[in-house]
Amino acid sequence: MTSHGKLRREKGSLAEYESQMKDLRAQLGEQMKILDSQVEVKQQQLSDLSEFLRRRGDIESEYARALDKLTERFTHKTKKKEQWGQSVCQVWTVLLTQTRLMSREHASLGDTCCNTLTQRLTHSTEDTHRLHKRSKEVGTQMQDELLKVTTELQTALKTYNQYHTDCLIAEGKLKEAERLEERQTGKSAELGIGQSGSQRRSSVKKMERLMEKRHGRVQETQLKCTKARNDYLLNLAAANAAMNKYYLQDVSTLIDCCDLGFHQSVERVMKCYLTNRWRILKTEESGLKQLETAVTSLDQSGDRDALLQQHDTAFCLPFRFNYHPHEGDQVSAESQVRYELETRFQQLQSRLAAVTLETEEVSIIKTLKATLTALLDNMGDSDSNPAPDVPSNQSHEPPGGSTAPKLALAKRRANQQETETFYFTKVKEFLTSSSLSSKLQAKHDLLQDAIQKGTLDQVACLSQIPVVVESCIRFINLHGLHHEGIFRVPGSQREVNLIRDAFERGEDPLSDSECDLDSVAGVLKLYFRGLEPPLFPYDSYNQLLDCSVTEKAAQIKAIVSSFPRPLLIVMRYLFAFLNHVSQYSDENMMQPYNLAVCFGPSLLRGVDSDDAVAQQPQVNELVKTMILQHDVIFPSQSEVPGPVYEKHMTLEQEYCVFMQVKVRAIQAVAMFDYVARSPAELSFKQGELLILHSKASCDWWRGEVGGVKGLIPHKYISLYTLIS
């Protein structure tokens, strides 16, 4: 694909995002209009019901004729209204049907309708308007948050496209420089006879500087592109999560907030109406039961679902934002940004845990439920629902009566508004926290997948010591610590090749003790010599050589502590083993410096090999220091978890039978003095009697001296007799 084609593709992606953003804004605006229209419908319903009850009280004197007219009027009005609240509309239908039978009822019902019930409906109308206003504020805030997230996504996409374009331009310039270099090389070859040496060198140096500059630019733009791509993907996941959260959860919650107490208020008023009717209208019991059934069927969640289904185009979840990569780009934990991704992943884990704990805290959920219950109870106060056995002429105070009920009602209204404020504050906090949690979870899951994919590709170097290193060191630990000239005396080249080829096939040729020790040591040195880059990275070579003599160990530790964790684990394992080998230098003749001479060129080397010979003494001293002070320089297992070298390894299958004879112990005599080099070993004097229990390896016995149990070296003793 040409660069112009890629630019057109980028513009197409941006245009698609802009179109989605435009549709999203229009959809959000339509939602608010629908919610506004619904509050008008509810207020109109409450107003109609209040008007109905007031007129009912006014026309009680002409009850039969006037009530029939009233029923016909509201039947006609309800047919014209939008049938949104299905359960409330069902109540209306039953109510109007039964109203046709109430033309001859008692005048006290009219008094109840004109006073208590109309006042309650007035309060419900005020509550509905106020609650809708607060719900709209919450909804506007959530929509702004959603638009903010999508805007951040659009910005991240633009940044990603810009950096990727810069990367393509830099790569093109690099290719152009490479072609120029090839042409210049060919031209120099043709004109080489006529050019002086200095001119050719100057031309070559200029071209090298140009290539170096272009390479640097390509690497810089690639790194920026990678970071921008990852940031774009994170914002993409967060935007999709935010939309899912808003459309699948928040919208329902907002509708519930708008309807808060509306259905219950209607239910309370109608139950009050039913209570008075049951007191005086026993003859109409069957009709009232039908109305009661309709009132009991008031379903806030069902009406909410009906609203969502009726306006599905406004409330349905939009299409997900799709990922538009360049040239098949994929999110990955590349080495340049792996540390940053891991750090960001850990931060996201901590923050997600805190937000989740805050959102799902039991006390918060209980507070919301308790507040909602108290609010609904306050909104459905029992003053509008008098007891059935109270006579109608005693259930109402005269117009100039006591002011105590009015004061109590005013107090309850004030408490209700305080409870509403607290409840909506908690609802807002819960919605904000849960929305943040969903966005963080989306980013967390995406980063976790990327890091795990990068980890699986490098599991061999991240989780364990290489098999060839572990097997060779184990073999030498069991059979070669006392071997004179270990690592210095060369082994058979043929056997070295055979062992190396077996390791490359995935086998372990050192599972038995028939291999030549010097050849095994040669395989270990050959492995580290063949590493590219070497075990110590190239960029640390000069830093390590510059370490001063007085504080060398501390300076080395400061340098190696910045190495990747897999390298530190292998270094710690190797140098602990070399230190153990040097402890037997009186037998194997391999002091720390001799070991440094054998391993230094393989472990530590620079890019420029011209100065390798001159700097070799410094390298040897440096490696010698690491062998002697390995426990100071390299981190412990608690600091960097991973395999550690054990001085006393055992065979995979220990000897349970010695010389095919089952014995309880073996007596031996010490041929030489021996001083223990570790807590697991035993010290003894020449001529001292020893008790041997079992073989630990070809070079060590498990036994006891003077009642103290430990390891005894085989070369320092002579078997005396068997104890059956």
Q: Identify the pLDDT of residue 358.
A: 66
Residue 709's beta-bridge partner residues? 704
Asked whether residue 2 is domain-assigned, the answer is no
* Same domain flag for 138 and 235: yes
Q: Has residue 651 got a pLDDT over 50? A: no
Which domain does 695 fall in, by range? 666-719
In angstroms, the CA 690 to CA 645 distance is: 29
What pLDDT score was predicted for residue 123? 87
- pLDDT(633) > 90: yes
pLDDT above 70 for 49? yes
Highest mean pLDDT among 51-55, 191-195, 459-463, 484-488: 484-488
pLDDT at 83 exceeding the cut of 60 = no
Mean pLDDT for 651-670 is 53
DSSP three-state, residue 71: helix
CA distance 470 to 666: 32
Number of domains in the chain: 4
Q: Can you list the alpha helix ranges (DSSP code H) found in 246-299?
A: 251-258, 262-280, 285-296
Residue at which a domain ends, from 633, 656, 687: 633
Q: What is the CATH number of the domain that holds 689?
A: 2.30.30.40
Of all helices (H) and strands (E), which one includes residue 669? strand 665-670
Looking at residues 41-69, what average pLDDT do you find? 81
Q: Which residue, of 617, 633, 649, is where some domain finishes?
A: 633
DSSP H/E element including 718: strand 717-723
Those residues whose C-beta lies under 8 Å from the C-beta of residue 357, and which sit 6 or more positions away, are none
Q: Are residues 412 and 507 in the same domain?
A: no
pLDDT of residue 623: 93
Report the C-alpha gap between 584 and 590 in whole angstroms.
Answer: 8
Higher-confidence residue of 703 and 337: namely 703
Question: Which of 81-85, 242-246, 475-479, 595-599 shows the highest mean pLDDT?
Answer: 595-599
Which of these, 301, 166, 154, 172, lies nearest to 235 by C-alpha position? 154
- Rounded to whole angstroms, how far apart are CA atoms 516 and 506? 20
3-state secondary structure 185-234: HHHHHHCCCCCCHHHHHHHHHHHHHHHHHHHHHHHHHHHHHHHHHHHHHH
Angstrom distances, CA of residue 618 to CA of 271, 528, 562, 579: 97, 19, 22, 19
Q: Are strands 689-695 and 665-670 parallel, antiparallel or unpaired?
A: antiparallel
* 480 within a domain of the structure (yes/no): yes
- Which residue among 264, 284, 314 closes a domain? 264
- Give pLDDT, residue 333: 43
Has residue 710 been placed in a domain?
Answer: yes
Asked, for residue 150, whether it belongs to a domain, the answer is yes
The 3-state DSSP class for residue 573 equals helix
pLDDT, tens digit (0-9, with 9 covering 90-100), for 266-283: 888 888 888 877 877 776
Whether 334 shows a pLDDT value over 60: the answer reads no
Residue 362 to residue 64: CA distance in whole angstroms: 57
CATH code of the domain covering residue 34: 1.20.1270
Q: Which residues contact 410 (CB under 8 A, 6 or more apart)?
A: none
Listed range (328-342, 648-662, 679-693) with the worst mean pLDDT: 648-662
pLDDT band at 528 (very low <50, low <70, confident <90, very high): very high
Indicate whether 529 and 672 sit together in one domain: no
**CA-to-CA distance for 149 and 435, rounded, in angstroms?**
11
Q: pLDDT tens-digit profile of 358-410?
A: 666 545 666 777 777 777 777 766 454 554 454 555 445 555 556 777 888 88
Distances (CA, A) of 467 to 474, 487, 600: 10, 19, 21
**192's tokens:** 């080489």
Of residues 392, 321, 322, 382, the one with CA closest to residue 106: 392
- The rounded distance, in Å, linking the Cα atoms of 675 and 673 is 7
Alpha-carbon span 297 to 266, nearest angstrom: 12
Q: Is position 249 within any domain?
A: yes
Mean pLDDT of 325-353: 61
Instruction: Of 127, 140, 117, 139, give the one whose Cα is nearest residue 419.
Output: 127
Higher pLDDT residue, 575 or 260? 575
Distances in Å between the Cα of 44 and the Cα atoms of 306, 336, 422, 514 are: 19, 64, 28, 98
pLDDT-derived band of residue 549, with 50, 70 and 90 as boundaries?
low
155 and 179 fall within a common domain: yes
Residues linked to residue 700 through DSSP beta bridges, in sequence order: 713
pLDDT > 70: percent of the chain = 81
Kindly state whether residues 444 and 491 are assigned to the same domain.
no
DSSP 375-412: HHHHHT-GGGS--TTS-TTTSS--TTS-SHHHHHHHHH
Both 501 and 628 in one domain: the answer is: yes
Same domain, 260 and 222: yes
- Tell me if 643 is assigned to some domain: no
Residues ≥6 apart with Cβ < 8 Å to 196: none
Tens digit of each residue's pLDDT (9 = 90 or more) over 290-300? 888 888 888 87
- Residue pair 233/446 in contact (Cβ under 8 Å)? The answer is yes
pLDDT exceeds 80 at position 114: yes
Please give the backbone phi and psi of residue 537, each rounded to the nearest 5 degrees, phi first.
-55, 155
Residue 388 lies in a domain: no
The pLDDT of residue 610 is: 63
Residue 325: is the preceding peptide bond cis (ω within 30°)? no
CATH of the domain at 516: 1.10.555.10
Q: What percent of the chain has pLDDT over 90?
A: 12
Say how many Å lie between the first and final Cα of the chain, rounded. 85
Whether residue 437 is contained in a domain is answered as yes
Task: Name the residue with tokens 């500059």.
Answer: 213
Q: Do 556 and 575 have their domain in common?
A: yes
Instruction: Tokens for 509, please give them.
Output: 């040729």
Alpha carbon distances (Å) from 305 to 43, 82, 91, 251, 299: 20, 15, 18, 11, 10
Highest mean pLDDT among 202-216, 221-235, 399-413, 430-444: 221-235
Using alpha carbons, select from 373, 359, 563 the residue that is nearest to residue 461.
563
Task: Give me the mean pLDDT over the 673-683 stretch.
Answer: 86
CB atoms within 10 A of CB 178: 13
Pair 437, 518 in one domain: no
Is residue 26 helix, strand or coil? Answer: helix
Same domain, 100 and 79: yes
User: What gap in Å lies between CA 63 and CA 261, rounded to an integer?
Assistant: 32
pLDDT of residue 194: 52
Rg (CA), the chain: 44
| pLDDT surpassing 50 at residue 460 | no
Return the higher-pLDDT residue of 383 and 76: 76
Average of per-residue pLDDT values in the chain: 79
Confidence category of residue 40, pLDDT binned at 50, 70, 90: confident
Collapsed DSSP state (helix, strand, coil) of residue 689? strand
Residue 719 pairs in a beta bridge with 668
Residues listed for the chain: 724
Mean pLDDT of all residues in 202-211: 83
CA atoms within 13 Å, Cβ hemisphere of 547: 24
568 and 671 part of one domain: no
Pairwise CA distance, residues 654 & 207, whole Å = 65
pLDDT band at 85 (very low <50, low <70, confident <90, very high): low
Q: State the pLDDT at residue 196.
A: 63
Greatest Cα pair distance, the chain, in angstroms, is 133
Please check whether residues 245 and 343 belong to one and the same domain.
no
